[in-house]
Structure 1
Amino acid sequence: MKKILIILAIGFLIAIFMFIENQKKENLTFSFYHWENSFKEKNIKEKLYIKVLDIAYSTKLEIIKSNLQEKPKDFIPVVYITNETMQNVDFSLVSNAIIQGLKNYKFNELQIDCDWSGSTQSNYFKLLEDLKTKLNKTLSATIRLHQIKYYTKTGVPNVDYGVLMYYNMSNIADFNTKNSILDNNIAKKYHYNFDNYPLKLKLALPLYSQTIQFRENKALSIFEGVEKNDFDSNFIEISDNLYKVLNSTYFQGRYVYKDDIFRFEDTKEKELKIALNDFLKLSDNRFNEVIFYTLKYKNKFNLEKLIKGK
């Protein structure tokens, strides 16, 4: 009798656990980034995070404004800032540039995307605090996996929430990298400190594919949106997802040379499911929203089915 009661109790606990896990997924919603420099989509129903400004630095501050021919009703503007900018330009100048660049938009929330480093942390965090004070809007910032694992060193930005960019986690320029877009084995090396990380998180996952061109094992170019069948008779597959150019030719509008090597990288549905499940297990302090990168690949998978696990 005692054994039966124990078995029933274990079964009950398993049932509760499965119910909770299913509820987590049932409540999930998804949205999209739009990262092109122009936007002209009409009748968009999806929730969007649209990049409206690129801020970079060479010898001076460089600002590229996206051309929004159409403006969705309730999109969230995103500003991309290079780390070099924060190394060379005082936060106040960057803040003023952003506020000026946002003048023509009506918004209640702003997101900043910058992969800050130890040398730029102070300047970047001051920028975020300045924007939050002057705009008085909901402010979010993108977060990388290493910035959670080592958060006591990298710091935590003073924003309303973070967006964990669960992709681009490997060195894209390393010839030996398998897939720089999404590698769950690499990701697992950073599965630390989620229980201590103070920022509430949303999750960003990739949908895109790309190929990296190498010459003498040195990375030269990135071609986004390439599919496996784009490697025609001018290529030979020398190992999994590595293609060698047989004769100098044009590829995706660019001239490539004989013996160049191309590494094909794709986002697989099963890998996305693993990443999502890992995140749900890791992070209790989170929103039930997944942001996919990007809108133009929204039909690549059945995303409703993917996030609900049905």
Structure 2
Amino acid sequence: MAFIILLGLVSCRKKRVINTSFYYWKTVYDANATERRYFNALHCQKLYVRVMDVDKSDNGVVPISPVTFKSALPNSVQLIPVVYLVNDVLKNQTSQQLDDLARKIVYYVNGRIKPSGKTSYNELQIDCDWTRTTRDNYFYLLTQIRANASLKNKKLSATLRLHQLKNQKNSGIPPVNRVMLMCYNMGNLRKYGHQNSILEQSELEKYAGKNLGEYPMPIDVGLPVFNWVVVFRQKQYAGIAKRLHNDRFFDNKTFKASGSDLYTLQKDLPQYGLLRGDEIRRENLSAGQLLCAASYIQKYISSDTVNIIYFHLDEPTLKHYTYEDMEKTAAVFR
């Protein structure tokens, strides 16, 4: 009898609604054929587009690297504008200055909608790695953005880092409708040696777990589908070689391997700004690692509806994953 009751409960359990989306984190929107194929194959209906960064300059707080739309988004795709806010912008700001910043952010976002081919949007997302010292100013800014008349009936969401998830007492809960948990960039990029600063399963498990289940707000999940090449010069962090692609590492006359992810450069590569003797760490994530991370996270997510957002829609990195890889990863949340 107990088995029959349990079977009935399982069969009546409502399936979680999963929406798959992508971030678009480039300064020019002009999705190519490969990017469109991935987007359509995963039945995406939304695209989270970075509209601008907000940072300090000699002229005060200004928009940086705003997106340009070389082509319009398809009619079937919803645009979710995303604003990246540099944490330093929030320091030493008065309420009046934050009020003004909130108005400017909304005004600028609204001005970028028409060039995208859209007349409106349903959600605005703010991306900021706030800290305990900037929390109050950040939450005040979010409140003022949310109160803007042009955002009436629209949702406001915010990104959430793993340290903010774990340290809820100090980090606080942002005054938004939803948060998007960034399950990437969790290691120390500048640390020399063997590691993967994009995603380490052990690091993920230190911060997530029950903290996910106890978070008092719907949580969406951002997963990484990107890679990068980290450069060290005399064992000191020297930056990211953005144009150096993974296929170059098969040239063992140029790159001498030391382990599975570290290489020593055997000659100068001036086109990449690299010098002989530079040590290079390749960081990427296999489809299996991505699935493992998703399988762990889904056990603690309690929301009935979850947006799975891949970072990001970019052909050179997408080619390392099949449609099936990405669909299988999203499917574990159902």
Structure 1 residues 185 and 286, CA gap change in structure 2 (3 angstroms):
farther
> Which shifted more, 94-103 or 130-139?
94-103
1:63 and 2:63 correspond: yes
1:111 and 2:125 correspond: yes
The alpha-carbon deviation at position 308 of structure 1 amounts to 2.3
Q: Distance in 1 between matches of 2:9 and 2:230?
A: 46
Which residue number corresponds to residue 49 of structure 1? 48
> Which shifted more, 120-129 or 51-60?
51-60
Alpha-carbon displacement from aligned partner over 1:47-106 (angstroms, at most 9, x marks no partner): 200011111114432312211222324211000111111125442232122122123222
* 3-state SS in 2 of match to 1:132: helix
- Mapping of residues 11-160 of structure 1, within 5 Å: 23-24=15-16, 27-41=17-31, 45=40, 46=44, 47-59=46-58, 60-64=60-64, 65-72=66-73, 73=75, 74-89=78-93, 90-104=97-111, 105=113, 106-134=120-148, 135-136=151-152, 137-160=154-177
Q: Distance in 1 between matches of 2:67 and 2:92?
A: 23
Q: Distance in 2 between matches of 1:57 and 1:17?
A: 53
Which residue number corresponds to residue 209 of structure 1? 227
Contact 1:76 1:111 in 2 (8 A): yes
1:183 and 2:190 correspond: no
Structure 1 residues 177 and 82, CA gap change in structure 2 (3 angstroms):
farther
> Which shifted more, 239-248 or 186-195?
186-195
Q: Distance in 2 between matches of 1:131 and 1:295?
A: 27
Alpha-carbon displacement from aligned partner over 1:1-54 (angstroms, at most 9, x marks no partner): xxxx89xx4x99599769969x45xx4331100000110237955320001111
Structure 1 vs Structure 2 CA RMSD: 2.7
The alpha-carbon deviation at position 119 of structure 1 amounts to 1.2
Q: Distance in 2 between matches of 1:241 and 1:16?
A: 47
Alpha-carbon displacement from aligned partner over 1:122-150 (angstroms, at most 9, x marks no partner): 11111110010002221000001111111
What letter matches 2:99 in structure 1?
A: S
What letter matches 1:304 in structure 2?
A: E
Q: Distance in 2 between matches of 1:294 and 1:208?
A: 7
The alpha-carbon deviation at position 261 of structure 1 amounts to 0.5
Q: What percentage of residue pairs aligned between the two structures are identical?
A: 28
Contact 1:208 1:225 in 2 (8 A): no
Which residue number corresponds to residue 116 of structure 2? none
Contact 2:181 2:219 in 1 (8 A): yes
Residue in structure 1 matching 2:267, options 247, 251, 257 = 247
Structure 1 residues 262 and 286, CA gap change in structure 2 (3 angstroms):
farther
Structure 1 residues 286 and 293, CA gap change in structure 2 (3 angstroms):
farther
Structure with more contact order per residue of length (Cα contacts < 8 Å, sep ≥ 6): 2
Which residue number corresponds to residue 322 of structure 2? 301
Q: Distance in 1 between matches of 2:167 and 2:299?
A: 19
What letter matches 2:266 in structure 1?
A: L
How many aligned residue pairs are there? Answer: 298
Calculate the TM-score normalised by the size of structure 2. Answer: 0.81
Structure 1 residues 274 and 224, CA gap change in structure 2 (3 angstroms):
farther
* 3-state SS in 1 of match to 2:55: strand
Contact 1:170 1:177 in 2 (8 A): no
Residue in structure 2 matching 1:218, options 211, 233, 236 = 236
Contact 1:202 1:286 in 2 (8 A): no
Q: Distance in 2 between matches of 1:28 and 1:208?
A: 22
Q: Distance in 1 between matches of 2:123 and 2:89?
A: 23
Task: Note the residue ranges of structure 1 that are not aligned, 5 or more in a row.
Answer: none
Calculate the TM-score normalised by the size of structure 1. Answer: 0.87
The alpha-carbon deviation at position 242 of structure 1 amounts to 0.1
* 3-state SS in 2 of match to 1:147: helix
Q: Distance in 2 between matches of 1:193 and 1:50?
A: 28
Structure 1 residues 247 and 77, CA gap change in structure 2 (3 angstroms):
same
Q: Distance in 2 between matches of 1:238 and 1:18?
A: 52
